[in-house]
Amino acid sequence: MWVAVDAMSGDYGPDRIVEGAVTAVNQDGRNVILVGKEEDLSEILLKYEYDPEKIRIVHASEIIGMNDSPSIAVRAMEDSSIVQAAQLVANKTCVGMFSPGNTGATMASALLYLGRIPGVLRPPIAAPIPREKGAPTLLLDAGANVDCKPEYLAQFAIMGAIYSKYIFNIPKPKVGILSNGEEDKKGNSVTLKAFEYIRKLPLDFVGNVEGRDLYGGGRNVDVVVCDGFVGNIVLKATEGLSKSIFSVLRESIAQSSLAQTGALLLKPTFTAIKKRLDYAEYGGALLLGVDGTCLIGHGSSNSQAVRSAIRVVVECAERDVNRRIKEEIEKAKI
């Protein structure tokens, strides 16, 4: 199985992306196609030892910037690394793609060239949220669909449960709707109607959940659905809070020699916590519901994030996530 990796669109250029791809090849046995400027990528690869049969380069002369209009750029820049990666999946050369570039352009490319799985109304972004114990909570939609209908949320619940079961290995994922209270009658018109749809599905539906439940601090839930407007705010707030906590800790420790001594003793614990909260452990967020695996990475993705992303793309293919989504959406008749 080959994975297409957009090597040019990250915040820090192709070096980290190539390093992560080489690590995935050498340590995990993956097959990777690096998409981007051939001369640049070939020069970077000279730094590494790897099996040349497992890494290929597909030349793409253009790069879609973070500030470019997604719909315009995707159609005007057909030789961009994002578009070329999507085309490799569309023509079945690769089982999936990863891009740390412009999120909107990555989504637009996937929708244009891969299309939707039959029956899927709107593909959502499924973002893993680290929690106190066990696998992360899956939040969807994390930004693909700002305005949603109740039917969309019901399909998000189906797709999220499949992802959680086959990628996070949770036998029977608990599914909830993000709301302003746990009571059945809480929420707005969209979530109230979605509640009625989801409760009739063959899912382990726990009803409404609150923001604190995302992190394991309240009700036990594995998949949380909401519209993309709310989901993206939650995701960005979570990222910001995580960074702030570690920043405050560093400042506080620096101000006291006693704290510095204690920090040295607690260094393994701090390292473990940081790893648990690090997006790089999950690679990125999957765009579920498109007819081909598309994983959207953080713009600042490091080599570990790239390696994890390649792993997730392969696991989705090996475990037939898209086929399972198609079958369950057909059964639900939503």
pLDDT in tens, 142-151: 999 999 999 9
Same domain, 155 and 204: yes
DSSP string, 37-88: -HHHHHHHHTTS---TTSEEEEE--B---TTS-HHHHHHH-TTBHHHHHHHH
Q: Is pLDDT of 264 > 70?
A: no
User: Within a domain: residue 324?
Assistant: no
Same domain, 221 and 256: yes
User: Within a domain: residue 330?
Assistant: no
Average pLDDT, the chain: 89
Q: Is pLDDT of 269 > 70?
A: no
DSSP string, 199-210: HTSSSEEEEEE-
Same domain, 240 and 255: yes
> Rounded to whole angstroms, how far apart are CA atoms 156 and 19?
34
User: Within a domain: residue 332?
Assistant: no
User: Within a domain: residue 333?
Assistant: no
Same domain, 129 and 277: yes
Same domain, 87 and 218: no
User: Within a domain: residue 329?
Assistant: no
Range of the domain at 151: 125-282
The mean per-residue pLDDT over the stretch 152-159 comes to 98
Q: Quick check: 13 and 104 in contact, CB under 8 A?
A: no
User: Within a domain: residue 33?
Assistant: yes
Same domain, 315 and 230: no
**What strands lie across the sheet with 96-99, from one edge to the other?**
55-59, 31-36, 2-6, 96-99, 293-296, 285-287, 125-129, 137-140, 223-225, 174-178, 204-209
User: Within a domain: residue 334?
Assistant: no
> Rounded to whole angstroms, how far apart are CA atoms 24 and 303?
9
Residue 11 vs residue 19, higher pLDDT: 19
Residue 118 vs residue 260, higher pLDDT: 118
The reported pLDDT for the residue numbered 270 is 54
Same domain, 80 and 111: yes
pLDDT in tens, 169-206: 999 999 999 999 888 888 999 999 999 999 999 999 99
Same domain, 114 and 163: no
The reported pLDDT for the residue numbered 238 is 79
Same domain, 153 and 251: yes
Q: What is the count of structural domains for the chain? A: 2
Supply the CATH number for residue 109's domain. Answer: 3.40.718.10
User: Within a domain: residue 325?
Assistant: no
